[in-house]
Each structure stands twice: as C-alpha cells, then as structure tokens.
Amino acid sequence: MSLFEIASVHPFFQLVPLVVFLPVLGLLINLLVGKYLGEKGVGAVASLATGGAFAVAVLLAIGLGQVSEGATLTLANWMTVGDFSVNWSFRIDTLSVLMMLVVSGVGMLIHIYSIGYMHSDVRHNEDPGRFRRFFVYLNLFIAFMMVLVSSDNFLMLFVGWEGVGLCSYLLIGFWFEKGADGIGNAKAAKKAFVVNRIGDFGLLIALFLLFHSFGTLNFAEIFEQAPAIAAAAPGAIMAITLFMLLGVTGKSAQLPLYVWLPDAMAGPTPVSALIHAATMVTAGVYLVARSQALYVEVPAAQNIVMWVGALTAFFAATIAVGQNDIKKVLAYSTISQLGFMVTAVGMGATVAGMFHLTTHAFFKALLFLGAGSVILGVEHGHAQANQHAEHGHDSFDPQDMREMGGLRKRMPLTFIVYLLGALTLAGIAPLAGFFSKDEILAAANEKSIAIYALLTAAAFLTAFYMGRQLLMVFFGKPRSVASEKASESPLLVTLPLVVLALLSVFGGALNLPGSHILETWLEHTLEGVTPGHFVLTVALISLAVALLGLLLAWLVYGRKPSFENGQPDPLRKPLNGLFTALENKWWVDELYNTVIVRPYDAVARFSAGVIDQGIIDGLINGMGSMVGSLAKAWRRYQNGYVRSYALTIVVGVVLVITYLVLR
C-alpha cells in the first residue's frame, strides 16, 4: 500500500523509509561537507543518523505492538519487464523490526565507540584524513543492511545483500596500503569479496529458480504458494533451499565458505564488531528464518542446514583454541556461534535462532569492542615505552595475546566488561547467553542426539577458549613492556562498552522461560514456530559443561607459575600435533589455495597470456601487419616507369577482351 494508506493502519508505519534514508542522509552530509565539520562533527552526524534509524525502529515496534500483523509500504516500482515486476517495498513485521532494532541499536553504540577509537587509530597509522571516510562507509553499511532487512521481496533483499558485501570489502580494506607486504589488507578484503561472491552465486541461482517456479519474488506471494508448488515439484523447492544455503554459508561464514571471516580481522576493530559479529553475518540466518515457509516443505534440506551449522560450530570452536591473535579467537568464536544459529533455524527452532542472534549481537560486539580497547591500551603502552626509540611499528603486534598479560590491573573497566561478555558467551547463568544457547540446545536434544552432542561439545570448547583468552590477556604478569605501560581507554570508548555489557547481562529477559516475550512477538510473522520448552536437565548439563570448560582453562593457564613470555603455549606439550593443527586452522586455507586458487590462477594466466594476448591480439595485430606487408608488396609496382604502367593498361585491355569473347 502507499504512504497515505499506511498512515491509516498506524501513524508510525509511515516512518519506515527513514530507516534507510536517515543513514543515507548522514553519509551524504559527511561526504559532501565532512571536511568542514571536524572529527567530532563527522562522528556526531554519523551516530545521529544511525540513532535516528534506531528511534524509527523503536516507534515501529511500538506500532507493531498495537497492530501486530504489520503492513507493507510500497515506495516505488523498480522494474516491470513482461511478467516480472519488482517494487521497492518495505515490510513492517515483527521479524524485520527485530532485525532493524538490533542493527541500528548496536550500530549506534559502535558509531559512538568509533569516534574515540578511530581518533587514536588514524594517528597510529599516520593518516588523519581517513577519519571521515570511515564514517561514510559505516553509514553506507547501515543503509544497505536496512534495505536487506526491510525488503518485502527477494530481489531487494539481494540488493541489500550485495550492498553489505561491498561495504564489508571497503571497510576490511580500509587501511588498504598496510598489512603484510603492503598489500595484506587489500588481499583480505579481496578474499572476503570473492568468497562471498561464490555464496552470492548460490543465492542468485535460488532467485532464478524461485522466479521460474513461482513467477514472482515477493515474500508474501511465494510463501502462500509454497505448499502447492512443493506438492507439484518438490525437487524445485529442494534446489531453491539448497542454493540459498550456499548463499548463507558465504555470508554467514559456515563451512565451507567461512575462510574470509578470520582474514577480515585486518579491518579496524569497530568494523569487526559491527559487520562481522553483530549484523552482516547474521543476514544469512535472517534469510533462512524468513524463508521458513520454504524450508518446512523439504525436511531433507532442513537436515542439511542443521548439519552444516552444527559441524561448523564444532569445527570453528576447535580452531579458536589454538589462536594467538585476540581478534582471531573472537572471529572463530563468531563462526562457531553462527553455526549455533544456523542449526537452530535449520531445525525449525526459529525463535531460538533469532534470540541467540540478538544476544550474540550484544555480547560479541561487546567482546570485539573490548578487544579494541585492549589493543588501544597496548598501543599506547608501546608508544610510551618507545618514546625515546625510533618510530617502528613493524615487529610489534599489539594484537598478539602472548605479549599481553596482567592487564586487569592496568585497564580495570575494560576488564570488567570483557569478563561479563566472556562469561555470557560461555553460557553461564543467569547471563543472556545462557538462555539463548540453552534454548537451542533444548531444541537440538529433541531433534537429534548427534546434533545435541556436537553442540554441547562446541559449548564446552567455547567456555575453554574464552577462559584461555581471559587468563592470557588479563591475568598473570605482563609479558611485555607494552602491557606494563598500558593505559585505560577514554570515555567515548568505554561508555558504549558499559551499555553493551548491561544488555549482555539483562538481555536474557527477552525470552525468559516463563514469559517468552520474543516468541509471542515473532509468532505474528513466522508460522509454524516450534514453541520453546525449558528442559531443566538440558539447562543443568549446559551450565555444568560451561563451568567445566572454564575450570579446565584455569587449570592449564591460570595456575602459578603463570605463562611467561617466550614460553611455548601450555597446551602444546599434551596435545602436540593436534595443537599445531589447531594453530594452523587445520590448514584449510592452504588446502583451498592448492586445490582451487592455484589451478584457477593457472587457467587465468593461460587465458590472459596465451589466448588473449597470443591468439586474439595476435590475430588483430596479424591483420594489421598483413595489411602492411600487402602494401609493401604492392608498392613494388609503383616503379615510376611509364612503360610498366602502359603494360598494366594493356593487360587490362586483354582481360576485358577475354571477357567479351567468352561471354
């Protein structure tokens, strides 16, 4: 319906285009007049734009509280080609508004954090001019993410999907001339984009198949027709869902396309927090949740989704145990938690999945921002320590956990919030992470024991590696001069951390076993939602497993004498070869490189060198040189002798007479 009609449904609903247009306005202002605003001004504009989007989302939520079926606002017709017609429409319902709230809420906090963080970061990297560009990209990302979650058809969703992929590329490669060999960051950005492209290819095929089978790309129309089409052509729906799964593995970093996420840590920390923890990577989960109507028709596809998620959860958790970079641990943790979410929506426990998505956004953003605060502090310490020495950054890595230690005394506030975030990720009651993870485990227990076992093992490892990280970073003695002299971060940085910590602690209230607020909220949109149970045994087992993991971590890393600088990791001796495999991420990147990248590179080189330069260019150049040599040959006849010209004339005469004779 149009803008006027929708005001009559509920007055707040007409504000929905602002969730996209406010961030766009913010980015335009920063782009055009940002240079005159100064750092604080640019940051304020960007944060206000996102904050405005959050406010609109809150109003929409209030409106939905009164009109719970929601509505659809059609802004414009994008294209109509024959039978195919796509509108730019906004879908206001509980699922999309939930996503809007998460994205804009966490996004706003991260914007505020970034003002303080980037202030130091651009100085550390010696390019203050880049501050403005960062906020332009961040607002662009929020705008595209809003397009993704607010669309009412698959094509607009794809537009948003691609847009956030682009912003991810731009932001990962923000310091594009830095990184290994001066090109490492750019290569990481390129890897993210290319791997995502493979996933996007899957999603695109799914869109084609959807149009072919349903004749439309509109959510409402497709989900209505789903049962009928599934009865008529089950193979088509199976293909659609599986191709969509390919897109999900790309965007949400599941097996086998997760490899871009750890490399994406090359971007600034707020980027990792916003994009690669809280929002973009959840787009895949959102897609599956939205398309539940399709997935329930094909239980086989649901099984596959479930297994992909569970295996990823376990696999990534193992790798996280062996990592030494503070952000890489969190990256693999993100992949693992996304595995939990994908398993949940695959099983049909959509509410559990969305609940975990929300709480994960809170505590993972908190952890990443906290890590950023730690990194800032260590960098300050390093700068202070080397004040008299020359200005070299190369050999010192501020993100290496082996160089940290004892920071709880130097950065107390960061320590407290980080501890809270780590505990909720590990799943300790009554923090938010416990409730959301527990719901997923309960649903898994009902569905399949094998899945339940995998997820529980992943939960155990989660607790273990978070404990390891806490102990290595904050406890014990400082292992380098930089950590000795580390200092607490400014208020702009720590304030959002506090807000996120509060959300992580109390966020469980969203879907407590008794009240199930979120479930009733989402029921209006998602049909056939499996109601969540609270099974006491499952809850107690998961709590026990988490505590066990933390205890084991303390046993290995926490006891005195603590882990000194230069010593090998305490896990290396007992696990030996296994630990090397974990440290090297099971050599998956190397495997991909040999099996896929190198042959492809060879083919590309062949095509460029032999085919393009050799054959095609050779053909064209050959034609040119052929003309040249023909001309050189003919030039011999211009010898200037009148008699040979006369001869040519006579030859012509004889030829003409021959023709006349023979005619």
Partner 1 sequence: MSLGSILLYGLLGVVVAISGIGLITSRNAIYGALFLVLNFITVALLYIALGAPFIALAQVTVYAGSIMVLFLFVIMLLGAEQLPIAEPIRGQRILAILLFVAFLAEMALFVMLRGSPVVAGAPITPDFSTPATMGTLLFEQYLLPFEMTAGVLLAATVGAVFLTRSPRPERKSALPEAQQAGKESS
Partner 2 sequence: MMPMSYFIGLSILMFAMGILGVLLRRNPLIVFMSLELMFNSANLLFVAFSAYHHVLDGQLFVFFVMTTAAAEVAVGLALIVAIFKAKRTIDLDQMSSLKG
Which residues, 6 or more positions from 655, have their beta carbon under 8 angstroms from its beta carbon?
Answer: none
- Residue 661: which of partner 2, partner 1, none does it interact with, CB under 5 to 8 A by kind? partner 1
d(CA 184, CA 591): 19
Of 254, 249, 272, which is closest to residue 200 (Cα–Cα)? 249
- Residue 642: which of partner 1, partner 2, none does it interact with, CB under 5 to 8 A by kind? partner 2
- Residue 560: which of partner 2, partner 1, none does it interact with, CB under 5 to 8 A by kind? none
- Residue 621: which of partner 1, partner 2, none does it interact with, CB under 5 to 8 A by kind? none
- Residue 660: which of partner 1, partner 2, none does it interact with, CB under 5 to 8 A by kind? partner 1
- Say if residues 174 and 130 touch (Cβ distance below 8 Å): yes
CA angle 25, 130, 379 (to 5 degrees): 125
Does position 537 bind partner 2 by CB under 8 A? no
- Residue 596: which of partner 1, partner 2, none does it interact with, CB under 5 to 8 A by kind? none
d(CA 370, CA 414): 6
Shortest Å distance, C-beta 635 to partner 1: 16
Give 450 or 651: the residue with its C-beta nearer to partner 1.
Answer: 651
What angle, 0 to 180 degrees and rounded to 10, lies between the N-to-C axes of helices 234-251 and 184-214?
160
Q: Exposed, middle or buried by CB within 10 Å (0-12, 13-18, 19+), for 523?
A: middle
Give 573 or 643: the residue with its C-beta nearer to partner 2.
Answer: 643
Q: Spell out where 82-126 has E strands.
A: 84-92
- Residue 62: which of partner 1, partner 2, none does it interact with, CB under 5 to 8 A by kind? none
Which residues, 6 or more positions from 301, have their beta carbon under 8 angstroms from its beta carbon?
Answer: 237, 238, 241, 242, 245, 295
Shortest Å distance, C-beta 641 to partner 1: 6
Shortest Å distance, C-beta 639 to partner 1: 7
- Say if residues 343 and 306 touch (Cβ distance below 8 Å): yes
- Say if residues 119 and 168 touch (Cβ distance below 8 Å): no
Residue 570 has φ and ψ, to the nearest 5°, of -60, -20
Shortest Å distance, C-beta 628 to partner 1: 24
Shortest Å distance, C-beta 603 to partner 1: 54
Which residues, 6 or more positions from 641, have their beta carbon under 8 angstroms from its beta carbon?
Answer: none
- Residue 657: which of partner 1, partner 2, none does it interact with, CB under 5 to 8 A by kind? partner 1
d(CA 275, CA 7): 33
- Say if residues 42 and 30 touch (Cβ distance below 8 Å): yes
Shortest Å distance, C-beta 647 to partner 2: 6
Give 580 or 648: the residue with its C-beta nearer to partner 1.
Answer: 648
3-class state of residue 134 by DSSP: helix
Give 194 or 655: the residue with its C-beta nearer to partner 1.
Answer: 655
- Residue 561: which of partner 1, partner 2, none does it interact with, CB under 5 to 8 A by kind? none
Give 643 or 663: the residue with its C-beta nearer to partner 2.
Answer: 643
- Say if residues 330 and 370 touch (Cβ distance below 8 Å): no
Give 625 or 658: the residue with its C-beta nearer to partner 1.
Answer: 658
Shortest Å distance, C-beta 658 to partner 1: 6
Give 8 or 658: the residue with its C-beta nearer to partner 1.
Answer: 658
Residues in contact with partner 1 by CB under 8 A are 639, 641, 643-644, 647, 650-651, 653-654, 657-658, 660-661
3-class state of residue 406 by DSSP: coil
From residue 67, how far is each of 13, 60, 252, 475 by CA, in Å?
Answer: 10, 10, 32, 51
Shortest Å distance, C-beta 624 to partner 1: 30
From residue 483, how far is each of 59, 267, 270, 347 by CA, in Å?
Answer: 45, 22, 22, 45
Site string for partner 2, 317-356 (x = CB under 8 A): ----------------------------------------
Site string for partner 2, 408-437 (x = CB under 8 A): ------------------------------
3-class state of residue 427 by DSSP: coil
- Residue 635: which of partner 2, partner 1, none does it interact with, CB under 5 to 8 A by kind? partner 2
d(CA 469, CA 461): 12
- Residue 651: which of partner 1, partner 2, none does it interact with, CB under 5 to 8 A by kind? partner 1
Shortest Å distance, C-beta 660 to partner 1: 8
CA angle 143, 148, 154 (to 5 degrees): 145
Give 2 or 629: the residue with its C-beta nearer to partner 2.
Answer: 629
d(CA 280, CA 253): 10
Give 32 or 661: the residue with its C-beta nearer to partner 1.
Answer: 661
Give 4 or 634: the residue with its C-beta nearer to partner 2.
Answer: 634
Question: Could you say which residues in the range 615-654 bind partner 2, by CB under 8 A?
Answer: 635, 638-643, 646-647, 650
Residues in the chain, total: 663
Place of tokens 């040249």: 628
Give 634 or 641: the residue with its C-beta nearer to partner 1.
Answer: 641
Give 531 or 640: the residue with its C-beta nearer to partner 2.
Answer: 640
- Say if residues 234 and 228 touch (Cβ distance below 8 Å): no
Cα Rg of the chain (Å, integer): 30
Shortest Å distance, C-beta 631 to partner 1: 20
Shortest Å distance, C-beta 659 to partner 1: 10
Shortest Å distance, C-beta 632 to partner 1: 17
Shortest Å distance, C-beta 644 to partner 2: 9
Site string for partner 2, 288-307 (x = CB under 8 A): --------------------
d(CA 352, CA 462): 19
Shortest Å distance, C-beta 661 to partner 1: 5
Binding residues for partner 2, rule: CB under 8 A, are 635, 638-643, 646-647, 650
